[in-house]
Amino acid sequence: MKLIIADDSAVIRAILAQNLTKIPDVEIIASVSNGRRAIDSAVRERPDAVISDIDMPEMDGLKAAKILSGDMKIPVLILSENSSAMADARSAGASDFMTKPSLDSYKDGFFSEMMEKLTRIAGPICSSGKKSGRNSSSCAQDSGPFRILCIGASTGGPTAVLEVLRGLGNNFPLPVFYTQHIEIGADRNMVNWFDSSCQNISVRLAEDGVEALPGIVYMAPADRHLEIAFVKNNGHPVIKISDAPPERFLRPAVNRMFRSAANFYKKSCLAVLLTGMGRDGALGCRDICDSGGWTIVEDKSTCAVFGMPAAAIEEGGAREVLPRGRIAARIVSLVSN
C-alpha cells in the first residue's frame, strides 16, 4: 500500500512514517507539510491513500481532500486533533476520520485501527504485495531500472554505511557514490578502513575524471564535492571533483551529489540518506524524487542522529523510511527488478 502523509508537524510525520513502514507491504512514498505538496506528490506517485492533517499552511487538509478524493479519486484519511471536525472532513470528501492522540499515545492499537481504516478505504493488501483493484508494487512503477546508487551520511555515518555496504553482497551491479561529512586529512584513512572492512565491495577515494565502475564505491574527498561530469555511452558516470563553494557550510555536500545524480540519471537514480546532523541531503532527496528516482532514508530507531533523514521526510524527499538493518536488502531488491 503506497501512502502519502501530509502534516505541518515534522514530528507527527516522522512518528507516522516510522510506525507505518514497520507494517509489511506499506510504503511511505512522500511525507509533506501541506495540502498543495500532497496534491503535487499524488499527481506524480498515484498513492493508494493519503493521510492528512487539517490545519496546514498554504493549503489545508479539507481543500486538499476535495481535490484528492474528487478529481483524483484518491481516498483520504483525515487525522485531526479536533474530533468535532469529522463532519467537515466528510463534507470535503474524506473517506474516513481519526482523532490525533497525544504524542505519547501513538501506540500499536492506534496504528492497528489506522490500518483497518486504510484497508477499508483503499483496498486489501494481498500476499504478493499488490492491492486488490489497484496496480501497486513494492517498487515505484515509474522508477528504474537503476544505474547508480548514491549514499549520503554524517554523524554516525561510517558505521551505518559499513553495515549497508556489507549487505549488498558480491558483484553489486551499480557504481556507488558516497558523500560523508569528514574532517580534512581523514578521508584516505577512512577509505582504507572501509576497503579492509568490506570484503564484498571495493571502496576508493573518488578522483576527478575517473570512470565509475559497477561494484566500486567512490567516496568524496574531504573538503571537495563529488559530482558527475558526464555519463558515457555505456551508462557509467565520469567523476567530477569540484571546489565549488560549500553548501550550507558543507563541502562535500550530500545535496550537491544527489542533485548531480538526479540531473544525469533521473528515474534511474537510487539514493540512500543515513544518520546525520543537520539538513544536508534533504533537498537532494526531493530533487531525486522529482526526477522520478527512488530514495530511502534511515528510520529514527537506528539513527545516531535523526536530523538529516528527518529533514528529508519533512521536505517530501523520502520514498521509503527503513531501519538500517533492512536497507541493504531493499537496495538489492530494487536493483534486481
What CA–CA distance (Å, rounded) separates 255 from 247?
8
Return all residues near 280 (Cβ < 8 A) that are at least 6 apart.
152, 154, 181, 247, 248, 250, 253, 254, 255, 308
Take residue 210 and report the three cell numbers written for it.
Answer: 575517473
Catalytic residue at 154? yes
Q: What is the CA radius of gyration of the chain?
A: 20
Here the cell at position 128 is 504478493
Please identify which of the residues 7, 33, 95, 181 carries the catalytic annotation: 181
- 173 CB-contact burial (10 Å; exposed 0-12 / middle 13-18 / buried 19+): middle
- Which helix (H) or strand (E) element contains residue 266? none
Specify whether 243 is catalytic: no
Rounded distance, CA 72 to CA 64, Å? 11
Distance, in Å, from the CA atom of 210 to the CA atom of 30, rounded to the nearest integer, reads 35
Q: Quick check: is 280 catalytic? A: yes
Q: Which of 48, 53, 280, 287 is catalytic?
A: 280
Q: Are strands 225-231 and 237-242 parallel, antiparallel or unpaired?
A: antiparallel
> What residue type is 172 in one-letter code?
F
Measured distance CA(293)–CA(309) in Å, rounded: 17
What is the rounded distance in angstroms from the CA atom of residue 135 to the CA atom of residue 288? 23
Residue 298's SS3 state is strand
Q: Which of 33, 95, 154, 260 is catalytic?
A: 154
Tell the residue number behind the cell numbers 549497508, with chain if given. Answer: 164
- Residues acting as catalytic residues: 154, 181, 280
